Structure formats: C-alpha cells, structure tokens
Structure 1
Amino acid sequence: MKNHSQAKPVPSFKVPKWIPITIRMLEKFSPNLALKLALKIFFRPIPFNTPPVERKWQHKALQKTLYVGNMPFTVYRWGKKGPKVLLVHGWSGRGTQFYKLIKKLLKQGYQAFAVDAPGHGRYPAKKTDLLKFIQAVETVHSEYGPFYALVGHSLGGVAISNAIMRGVPAQKLVVIGSPALISNTVKDFCVRIGVSKKIEDALMKKLKEIYGDNIQQYSLAEVVTKLSIPGLIVHDTDDEDVNYSEAQIVHQNWPGSRLLTTSGLGHRKVLRDKHVNKKIIRFLEKDIHLRSMTNEQIQQLFIKNKKKFDNQ
C-alpha cells in the first residue's frame, strides 16, 4: 500500500544538537554523569501540543482519571454500546492520535476507549516506562474490560502484548509501528543522542536492574511467540522511528499474524491513513461471531488458550 504524497516522512522527534554535544563532553570527563543524562532523557516523555482536531475528540469523550500506583492517567471513552476496543499510544503520544480510527469504530458499532498513559497528557511526569504502560492497560481492563480488541501504536503495541501475557484477555490484537526488540530500541536511542558503545552497555545494564536480567522477555518479538489470538501488524517502510525490519521480525515470530505494509506514511501518519484504518476495521470484523461473546465467555476462552500455551 503506497502513499502518493511527495513529502518524505521524518522522525517524530529530532534530537536537539546540544544533547549529543553535551553527552560527548560528559563522557570524556565524567562517564557517570553522561549515563545519568542518558537515563534522564530515556525515561522522560516529551509533551507535544495537542492539535485542535484531537482536542475536539477529547471534549466528545467521557473522561476518567485512573491510577498506576501514585501516577494518575486519563481514560477516554466514546460510545456506550457494542464491543469494546482499547487504543494505546506510543512514547510521547496521545490517545486521541487514533481519532480517525475512533470515528470508524463508532460508525461500525464499537465502543472506543483510549488512554493518555502515565506520564502523558494532563498528567505529565519527568519519568515513566514500559511497565507503567502495561499496568495502565491492566488497570483499564479491571475498570472497563474485557475488551474485544486491543490496538497499540509503537510502545503501545509492546504494552498491550505484554498485558495479554499477564492476564488481560482480548480476541484481536493490532500493533502499529512497534519495535521488535528492546535491545534494538536502546541501540537506536543511543545512536540518536550520540553516546558511545560503553554508555549503551551501561544503559542496558541499568535497564536490567529495573526490568530484571531477562529484559528481552518484554520484547514484542519474544511475547508474540506465545500469543494465541489473531494479530495484525501494520508498519510503514519509511518509518524513521522504528525500522520496517522490526515488523518483519515480529511477523516471523507470530504464528498466524498478518503483516500490512505501507509506504510513504512514516511513524505517525499511518494512524490517520484511511486505507490503513479500513484494513484494521476489516480485520476486526472478520469472525464477527467473536464480537457477540459475553464477558464470561471471553474470559474462559482466554484462560483456556493461556493454559494451552503455558503447557507447551
């Protein structure tokens, strides 16, 4: 699927020149300070302005504040009837970035839920991480679930997949522009901010202290090997934030998954593309009988599938 726009996709965020310069200087005189600055940047989301069209969708939604520990986050809800779909944005993103898909979901009779993850939106924070994203999905499930489908963009795709492995049930899963391996995410981050291999190794070591030595267990490419639900992977060949090869890795590791490839949309425009959203709706509509399952049936089917894969 190709986009005929002439504008070449660019990264979602361009690293300010002072960051690589400062870190290179710090590395020469104080590697520990260089690592501290790298960690600070790695865990701090960037608060972007919300476009007017997204603010309109925020105002249309029922909003509620939930908590992960002592961190508040916002849940948006559109619609009151029909199968529930939860949408989870990526790093430095917003729930209303899915507004084009939300519009289509409502038209097709779904309820749409979205979050501004911990550290984002109305409740910005200096520090958040993948675990907070995962716990937010679990919290929303406890409050509003179960959901018929989970849709995640970038880090959100990693979060929803991990949430399923931790017990959040769903019948369909869609990941858009999501990274396959945590090690690749760290490597790409270090290249962007201009740190040496030594600092990259130190950063990875610090992450293992937070997530555990088996940090790769959170990687999407690892998680999907155990998933037993239909999945759609959407990725653009011109994604400047997450390389297209990441989607190919996930697809190879995910039994029964479908890969939807686009070109010319980049990392974020893909969320607003009408053809992409049409394909997502078509994927959700397949096996339509699953939509009519009761909450109890969804829970039981999930437990049955989970036991099956845990015993393999």
Structure 2
Amino acid sequence: MSDKIYFNTSNKFSFKKRMVNLTTRAHHKLAPSHAKQTAKKLLLTPVRSKPKNAEPTGLIKAEVVTSEGVLKTYRLGQGPVWLLTHGWSGTASQFFPLMEHIASRGYTALAYDHPAHGQSEGVYGHIPAFVGGLEGLLDSEDEVAGLVGHSMGTAAAIECKHIKLHDKPLLLIAPVLDYLDNLFGSVARSGYSMRLFEAVVDEIQTQYHYPIQTIDPYNKLALREAPTIIVHDEKDRFTNYSVSKRAAEEMAQVTLVTTHGQGHGRVMQCEETKASFDQLINFDL
C-alpha cells in the first residue's frame, strides 16, 4: 500500500485525494491512537517484493543478526567486499546482475534485504531502521572496499556514520539526495493528513533518538572526501535527477553519469552502472 503513496508523483487534483485527506484527518481527530497505528501500517510497511532476477551461480545465502533483527544476506565472488543496499520495497535480488559483474572484477558482492524487506525480519521500514541494518552488516565484515546504493538505500548509506564507510567510494544509483523534500512531498501529494503523518514521524524519531530534520543526504555527501559516482536517468519519475546534477556541479568528488530510457529500476543493471563501478575500482588502484 505504501508504494502508492511514496511513488505517487502526480500533482493533479483528484476526488480520491480529497477524500483521503478528509477521512485521515477525521480519523486522527476522533481516534488519534488508532489512527496513528493505522498510519504506521500504511506508511511504514513496504511491499515484500518477489525476487526480480534469477540467482547467480555460486550465490551464498546467509543471515546476520542486527539491532533491527535478522537480515538475509547474499554473497557472490571472492576478494574485497562491496556492499549493495537496495531501496524502498526493493530486494537484494535487484542487484544480482550487477553482483555478477562485481564478482567478475575480482571482488565480493554482498547484498542484503533491508529490515521489513525481502526475506529479512522486521515489520516497519524507515531511514533509522535502514541505517541500523546497514551498521549491523558493517559490524559483521572485517573490512569493506566500497558501497553501491539504490534509491532510499543511498540516503541510508550517506546517513550511516560507521567508520568502515568513512573513506570508501560510493556508487549511488538513482539516489534520494533530497530525502525530506521527497518524503513529505510524496505524502502531501497523496492527500494523506500531514498532521497524522507527522505524529508517526515523531514516534519513530523518539524511539530511535533520530530527529528527522537531521536526515540530510545532500549536505552530508558534500562533506565526504572519497570519490562518488552517481548514475541517474534523466527521466527518473521517482527521484530527482536535477538534484543529482546539482550535486555533481557543486561537489568536486562527485561525478554524474546520465542515462536515458533506464528509468528508476532498470538503471541498476545497465551498462553505464557497470562501467561506473569499473571506474571507481580503477580509481582506487
């Protein structure tokens, strides 16, 4: 259900949107506690998508215990580890073609399902949970060589303060660098009561001691010194290409690779993404 809100890009007036606004506002006013629990289920419950690609030969499945529960991991190849972190309502399987490419270059590709996604434990998904899960994966590895992220997974990666990511290169695919604008704008366009949404947000930020206003991928990316390549489709309907373009123009360590016709999902396995990974590892050499 939440995909219909977060992936809603229409600004057009609709009767349905108006009714959503009226009913959610009334629900919050008449039964605030029940309304908040209902809103959590609707807004923070990702779709558990089925695998997108066939499993590569040699794929090793395992589990890692984190503060967000047991997360399912998928490992392919030998050599230094590159972590791969997917987006909202995604799965690690979306990375399987790219993982095969990474493994062919002499590296280990390590992907995982975020909390409440794929085959991992968890009920609710949000940035604090994404960051907690990523920190757990980093704790389980001796060292990582770099990270590949897609969509909301890019925001979590940039937000993560783990020392093992401090000076590592990033490959950001269709990133959400304007996370707060994207999030609040999507909910507002759906017609959902913003006051009710803010009540849900307040509960999460209190639980995790993670103020939502501190989530700022764009400016935190600007503070990083390691090289970053952004691969973003010019016509991406879900994340803002112009923000990626501005980041590359304003940040010396950031390079933008523009794709055409790859959308928000296909871009994860396109040739430009594979070439960008090659560029990052060659830079490291």
TM bin, normalised by shorter chain, reads: 0.7 to 0.9
Query: Is residue 2:88 matched to residue 1:91?
Result: yes
Query: Is residue 2:257 matched to residue 1:256?
Result: no
Instruction: Report the Cα distance in structure 1 between the residues aligned to 2:16 and 2:163, rounded to whole angstroms.
Output: 40
Other-structure match for 1:244 = 241
* 1:1-312 equivalence runs, <5 A: 13-14=3-4, 20=17, 21-22=19-20, 24-28=22-26, 30-31=28-29, 32=32, 35-51=36-52, 53-54=53-54, 56-57=55-56, 60-69=58-67, 71-80=69-78, 82-123=79-120, 125-163=122-160, 165-169=161-165, 170-199=167-196, 201-202=198-199, 205-206=202-203, 208-210=205-207, 212=209, 214-251=211-248, 254-288=251-285
How far the C-alpha of 1:282 sits from its partner, in A, is 2.1
Distance 1:131 1:249, change over 3 A: farther
- Is this contact kept in 1: 2:48–2:116, CA < 8 A? no
- Is this contact kept in 2: 1:88–1:156, CA < 8 A? yes
Distance 1:246 1:205, change over 3 A: farther
Number of aligned residue pairs: give it. Answer: 272
- Is this contact kept in 1: 2:77–2:104, CA < 8 A? no
Local SS of the residue matching 1:278: helix
- Is this contact kept in 2: 1:87–1:114, CA < 8 A? yes
- Is this contact kept in 2: 1:233–1:247, CA < 8 A? yes
Instruction: Report the Cα distance in structure 1 between the residues aligned to 2:63 and 2:210, rounded to whole angstroms.
Output: 33
- Is this contact kept in 2: 1:88–1:152, CA < 8 A? yes
Instruction: Report the Cα distance in structure 1 between the residues aligned to 2:28 and 2:131, rounded to whole angstroms.
Output: 34
How far the C-alpha of 1:215 sits from its partner, in A, is 2.7
Instruction: Report the Cα distance in structure 2 between the residues aligned to 1:131 and 1:220, rounded to whole angstroms.
Output: 13
TM-score, structure 1 normalization: 0.76
Instruction: Report the Cα distance in structure 1 between the residues aligned to 2:210 and 2:76, rounded to whole angstroms.
Output: 40
Distance 1:62 1:34, change over 3 A: same
Instruction: Report the Cα distance in structure 2 between the residues aligned to 1:88 and 1:220, rounded to whole angstroms.
Output: 15
Local SS of the residue matching 2:218: helix
Instruction: Report the Cα distance in structure 2 between the residues aligned to 1:177 and 1:205, rounded to whole angstroms.
Output: 28
How far the C-alpha of 1:18 sits from its partner, in A, is 11
Question: Residue deviations 1:139-195, cap 9 Å, x none?
Answer: 2222223111111111111122222x3322353111111212332132233134322
Question: Residue deviations 1:79-129, cap 9 Å, x none?
Answer: 13x222111111111112112211211111111111111211113532132
Instruction: Report the Cα distance in structure 2 between the residues aligned to 1:18 and 1:277, rounded to whole angstroms.
Output: 44
Local SS of the residue matching 1:168: helix
Counterpart of 1:144, as a letter, is: E
Counterpart of 1:266, as a letter, is: G
Distance 1:224 1:70, change over 3 A: closer
Local SS of the residue matching 1:221: helix
How far the C-alpha of 1:42 sits from its partner, in A, is 2.4
Kindly, what percent of the aligned residue pairs are identical? Answer: 24
How far the C-alpha of 1:248 sits from its partner, in A, is 3.2
- Is this contact kept in 1: 2:82–2:109, CA < 8 A? yes
How far the C-alpha of 1:199 sits from its partner, in A, is 4.3
How far the C-alpha of 1:77 sits from its partner, in A, is 0.9
